[in-house]
Amino acid sequence: MATSEISYRWMEPDEVSKLKDIDRSEKIRINYKYVEGELQARDVDWDTPAWFTEGDGEHTVASHIRFCKEHLARNGRMCGAFHDQKLVGVGIIQPDVAAGTAQLAYLHVSNRYRQKGIGNQIVAMLIDEARRSGAAKLYVSATPSGSAVNFYQSQGFRPTAAPIRELFELEPDDIHMLMEL
């Protein structure tokens, strides 16, 4: 599938239920830790399943919808990548999480749509929005998988030894990263 078949646009808050279309499943073979200013990789053999469609606990569609709605209620903006009418990628930018800093609060691209430039395009839209909001830096709390950390590094993010305390406390195992805008 060519990326030209993908359309991108800012989404309305009432479209957050489209998250059910995202397939976050992944085979994770590298996991990172940030120790004493250095990324340390270790080999793993983890298979992450799609989000659960039943219930509202962790790793369910309902929990992701709730998470996104919370960010949107705090002036976040959500952009989506669509193949026909199906949501295949989504990102959320949260302005003003710290002085001069916006947060890339959420990013997912469906399994079979990865490695096609969709994440790049979504991040570009989020960066433009962060700049428009006056941010000088963009912060992300990256899932410590090799694919996530390597992707964010390819976008210009670098691990930070001084994470935002409140965000670090929410995700202490993540790799907290900054990008100068």
pLDDT tens for each residue of 108-141 = 999 999 999 999 999 999 999 999 999 999 999 9
Which CA distances in Å does 60 have to 55, 56, 63, 72, 152? 7, 6, 5, 19, 24
What's the predicted TM-score (pTM) here?
0.95
Which CA distances in Å does 28 have to 41, 88, 130, 154, 179? 12, 20, 30, 18, 25
CATH number at 3-180? 3.40.630.30
Who's near 28: CB < 8 A, 6+ residues apart?
A: 44, 46, 47, 48, 145, 146, 147
Q: What is the pLDDT of residue 2?
A: 52
**Domain-by-domain residue ranges, the chain?**
3-180
pLDDT tens for each residue of 73-100 = 999 999 999 999 999 999 999 999 999 9
Query: CA nearest 122: which of 78, 170, 154, 59?
Result: 78
Query: What is the band of 4 on the pLDDT scale with cuts at 50, 70, 90?
Result: low
Q: DSSP assignment, residue 17? A: G
